[in-house]
Amino acid sequence: MNTLTVDLGDRSYPIYIGQGLLSDASLLQSHIVGNEVLVVSNVKVAPLYLGSVLISLKGKKVESVILPDGECYKNLEILNRIFDALLERHFGRKVTLIALGGGVIGDMTGFAAACYQRGVAFIQIPTTLLSQVDSSVGGKTGVNHPMGKNMIGAFHQPQCVIADTNTLNTLDDCQLSSGIAEVIKYGLINDKSFFSWIEHNIEKLLIRDHEALAYAIERSCRDKAAIVAEDERESGVRALLNLGHTFGHAIETGMGYGAWLHGEAVAVGMLMAADLSMRMGWISADDLHRIDNLLDRSGLPTRAPVDMTEQRFLSLMSVDKKVENGHLRLVLMRSLGGSIISSDFSHVLLAETVNAHHAISA
């Protein structure tokens, strides 16, 4: 088992990565606050892993609530089912919520924990590669609004994150690829040698080589944790983590939540950010090709959906959280592995990027 710490003062917490951690009762129980636990999972994950978690929680007052599976259910209405379960079972302020599932379950459970009685404890047990490397680190929680992704939420740090790599064995191929998109993102943000490592090890990741996966998860979490520790509330450098996300969120919102996997949308978004960076003269055509090629080898899409016209892209991007005083800010690449946050880009070139990606797909 590998352990790393997200350093946030009195909100610091450990991330545990290893095989079979779901069955480690003492590890899990040592992070339960109080005596009451509500496990939140979904219809896909619960049949696979809820049993193990319940056994590990023996001796506590434990209940569970099973939500439908998918990004399209990440909304206030489904969130309310968690509150219903908490209140029906008379859970008090000392309850600990456990998120057992992917990013949607993690985001919703974390947000429910942030709001229930104005804040209770929670633990993340991410069961997808995407959530292990991304959404379980950093305390961002929330739900979508029909007009924008993650628009309603809170910063709320977990007691700990338990990433059991065994859970990746049951992951769909496209969900594995979606997670790899976020792994590649850390290379592109500020870790060029990690990007090269992924280029050399992508086949191992795709066949779910345990050692390669554990390495990729740990390095991704370390890269993310370092950025989050520097800027917990995203007033500065943390926005780098949104590389590919402004384009990607536009695709997710525009196509309807769930039509595209998050990592798939981010993959196209990163490529569009790279394309615009190349048009700005910041990275080379060869760099762009390396990124395109790695995403393609990872089983990820590299073109936006046909329906996403220039106008639709730009309109959806204008409601992004990164808009400041009407100015859109994007994460772009000054170099391969050297991303920056900038509103200092040409809107003509932005339109060209959007059109290029739309035209190719048409």
Give me the residues that bind its own copies (CB under 8 A), please: 34-35, 76, 79-80, 83-84, 87-88, 90, 92-94, 114-119, 140, 142, 145, 147-148, 151-155, 233-234, 318-319, 321, 323-326
User: How near is the Cβ of 182 to its own copies at its closest, in Å?
Assistant: 20
Q: Which is nearer to its own copies, 195 or 247 (by Cβ)?
A: 247
Q: Which is nearer to its own copies, 26 or 325 (by Cβ)?
A: 325
Q: Which is nearer to its own copies, 75 or 196 (by Cβ)?
A: 75
User: How near is the Cβ of 251 to its own copies at its closest, in Å?
Assistant: 18
Q: Which is nearer to its own copies, 94 or 334 (by Cβ)?
A: 94
| Three-class SS of 177-222 | HHHHHHHHHHHHHHCHHHHHHHHHHHHHHHCCCHHHHHHHHHHHHH
User: How near is the Cβ of 80 to its own copies at its closest, in Å?
Assistant: 6
Q: Residue 154's beta-bridge partner residues?
A: 141
Q: Which is nearer to its own copies, 140 or 185 (by Cβ)?
A: 140
User: How near is the Cβ of 260 to its own copies at its closest, in Å?
Assistant: 21
Q: Which is nearer to its own copies, 222 or 322 (by Cβ)?
A: 322
Question: CA nearest 129: which of 154, 106, 108, 149?
Answer: 106
Handedness of CA 170, 106, 206, 293 (dihedral sign): positive
Angstrom distance (rounded) from CA 269 to CA 276: 11
- 3-state SS class at 269: helix
User: How near is the Cβ of 213 to its own copies at its closest, in Å?
Assistant: 30
Q: Tell me how far the alpha carbon of residue 156 is from its chain's centroid.
A: 15
Query: Burial code of 279-290, b = ≥16 C-beta within 10 A, e = fewer?
Result: bbebbeeebbeb
Q: Are 189 and 243 in contact (CB under 8 A)?
A: yes
User: How near is the Cβ of 146 to its own copies at its closest, in Å?
Assistant: 8
User: How near is the Cβ of 76 to its own copies at its closest, in Å?
Assistant: 5
Angstrom distance (rounded) from CA 150 to CA 300: 23
Q: Which is nearer to its own copies, 14 or 148 (by Cβ)?
A: 148
Instruction: Classify residue 347 as left (phi > 0), alpha (psi -120 to 50) or beta.
Output: alpha
Question: Which residues, in sequence order, are CB contacts of 107 under 8 Å at separation 6+?
Answer: 74, 135, 140, 141, 142, 143, 150, 153
Neighbours of 3 (CB within 10 A): 11
User: How near is the Cβ of 113 to its own copies at its closest, in Å?
Assistant: 11
Q: Which is nearer to its own copies, 118 or 200 (by Cβ)?
A: 118
